[in-house]
Structure 1
Amino acid sequence: MARRKPQEEQDNHDRWLVSYADFITLLFAFFVVMYALSSVNEGKYRILSNSMISAFRNVPVNSAGQTPMILPPSAPVVPKPNLASKAQEVAKQQQREKMRNVAKEILEVMAPLIEQGKVRVLETSRGVSIEINDSILFSPGQALLQPPLVKAMQSIAEVLVAADFPIIIEGHTDNIPIKNTQFPSNWELSAVRATTVLRLFADAGVAAERLTAIGYADTRPVEPNVLADGRARNRRVTIQIESDIPEKGTEITPAGRN
């Protein structure tokens, strides 16, 4: 019996559909995953974000769940130099130098009287103070300048004309009462003596707005009024050249004198 030839397998022309279906499936899965990643739960993300901020930045999170604004750390504030203070210090230094120059000039013109102990020049917290014993300025109970001292006072006035500091002229007495037809008390005597010196300075060219005269009578003694020497020390006229530089009072003496 004759054998039949095996039937040749027929070619399958639809096999590409299997690969295409696999590709479509993979592509669908890819887009599903991408969509899932893009659809983040906003509520859960906000809670996670707030928790991380609170933990690592120590920033309080409000109850409404709003994300606080995180500002970058600010640079340290470096204080700017106070230019006004520096300018004021420079001005004070310049004023101090001018005041000392005035004191040196007064020391020169009053040197003989300083040697006699009749005049003292002090540098105080208020400026420069010139203390003149009234025994060389006025006769007892009088307010007219003695002629020998007029020239010396004019020399002081010439120094003060060139400066621009305010000047206060103070009259002082001891505690012994005075009462005459011209001066009922030490108040009038001390005030008129200060005014007499003021008028001499004004006549010498010192600007009137810089001048002030004050009578203190016996209210500001520098020595006790017990002994004659103390009372003589208290009878004085003080010419105060004003300054706003605070310094401890130091007596100024001529060079080489202790």
Structure 2
Amino acid sequence: MPRRDKHTSHDQENHERWLISYSDFMTLLFAFFVVMYSISSVNEGKYKVLSETLIDAFQVEDKEEESSSELIELSDHNKNSMIDFDGRANKEGDVKAEVTGDGDYIGTLLSELSDQVESAFGDLVRDGEITISGSETWIEISLSSGLLFNSGSANLNRQSLPVLEEISSILSGYENPVHVEGFTDDIPIQSGIFPSNWELSAARSAAVVRLLSESGVEPNRLAAVGYGQFQPIASNESAEGRGKNRRVALIVSRDLDVRRALTGVGEAIEASEQNEAEGATPFLKEKDKIKAVELEGGGLLFTQDDQ
């Protein structure tokens, strides 16, 4: 028989076998991103059912209901610490004490102080001789100058003594700083004692500070400030308005770090703009402007005179 030649067959090497692994990898990667997308897209309805099921299973109280009840309780608590801007302590005003940390305690103290003053001087408050206003950081006890002083005088009259002594008794139970501020109307005063309303308002506030100090209020808590006629809260065109502007205000601050904004400035500007819009004469007339005159020997003289 003829001998058959034996040929050894060698399979050719396939260089594209990696495509199979690559396609498997891409398929797995696509599946991975599909799973991730499905996880990120939360079905709120199913999630709510799941959460309610877990709550029922573990008997966990609903946190939202608990938080809501706490908010309601805090809101009711705040209503007990409100101060009315019209001079009445009440439970439905717009001024609230802070509800966290020391703010809650200090706000409560300010509210208590306001209540004590109103309780002690109910008749004077109703007659408008004493007004009480404030915010969460300060309380203003405003006393009519007619209640404390005679016209053009900085000496406390007899009827003022029991009023200020009672206020001193109330303030001595607290540690808050007290700023005493004097105000006048725009009628010029020219006397040997008081060249202008600056001196008169400052002397009146200083007289009140001195009596408070002598009646038991710590002197380091007190300060006296005079604003003259330049912080009106009413129009000086009428006798009633001038009467409101003649006052001494006791500002009880929340703590030593609080600097009270001058609400008198804001009130004056707001009222002035309102009067100007209505065609009324502005509170601060041209004749009220203070001029600085340099003296020959040095220094400055502040005057309202044109000369």
The bucket for the TM-score relative to the shorter chain is 0.5 to 0.7
User: SS at the partner of 2:132?
Assistant: strand
Query: 1:126 Cα shift?
Result: 4.1
Query: Number of residue pairs matched?
Result: 163
Equivalent residue number for residue 150 of structure 1: 161
2:245 aligns with one of 225, 234, 254: 234
User: Which of 185, 188, 197 is matched with 1:177 structurally?
Assistant: 188
CA distance in 2, matches of 1:214, 1:89: 33
Structure 1 residue 149, shift from structure 2 partner: 1.7
Aligned residue in 1 for 2:132: 121
Q: How far is the alpha carbon of 1:124 from its aligned partner?
A: 2.8
- Contact 1:123–1:129 at 8 Å: present in 2 too? yes
Deviation sequence 1:89-125 (CA, Å, 0-9, x none): 3111110001101111111111121121111011235
Q: Which amino acid aligns with 2:233?
A: V
The residue type equivalent to 2:244 in the other structure is: R
**Partner residue, 1:83:** none
Q: Does 1:140 align with 2:151?
A: yes
Distance in 2 (alpha carbons) for counterparts of 1:126 and 1:100? 11
User: Per-residue displacement from partner, 1:25-66 (whole Å, max 9, x unpaired)?
Assistant: xxxxxxxxxxxxxxxxxxxxxxxxxxxxxxx9xxxxxxxxxx
Question: Is 1:103 equivalent to 2:140 in the alignment?
Answer: no
Higher relative contact order (CA 8 A, sep 6+): 1
- Asked whether the 8 Å contact 1:127–1:245 carries over to 2, the reply is no
- 2:202 maps to 191
Instruction: Verify the 8 A CA contact 1:221 1:234 in the aligned structure 2.
Output: yes
Identity rate, percent: 29
Structure 2 partner of 1:204:
215
Distance between the aligned counterparts of 2:243 and 2:216, measured in 1?
Answer: 31
**Distance in 1 separating the partners of 2:247 and 2:259:** 25
> What one-letter code is carried by the residue in structure 2 that aligns with 1:162?
G
What value does the CA root-mean-square deviation take over the aligned residues? 2.2
- Give unmatched runs, 5+ long, in structure 1: 1-55, 57-86, 250-258
**Deviation of the 1:245 alpha carbon:** 10
**Structure 2 unaligned blocks of 5 or more:** 1-28, 30-97, 264-307
2:228 and 2:259 map into 1 onto residues whose CA distance is 27
The amino acid across from 1:166 in the alignment is P
TM-score (norm 1): 0.60
Match of 1:182, SS state, is coil
Amino acid in the other structure paired with 1:206:
V
Query: What is aligned with 2:171?
Result: 160
SS at match of 1:147: coil
Query: Is this contact kept in 1: 2:130–2:141, CA < 8 A?
Result: yes
The TM-score with structure 2 as length reference comes to 0.50
Query: Which has the larger Rg?
Result: 1
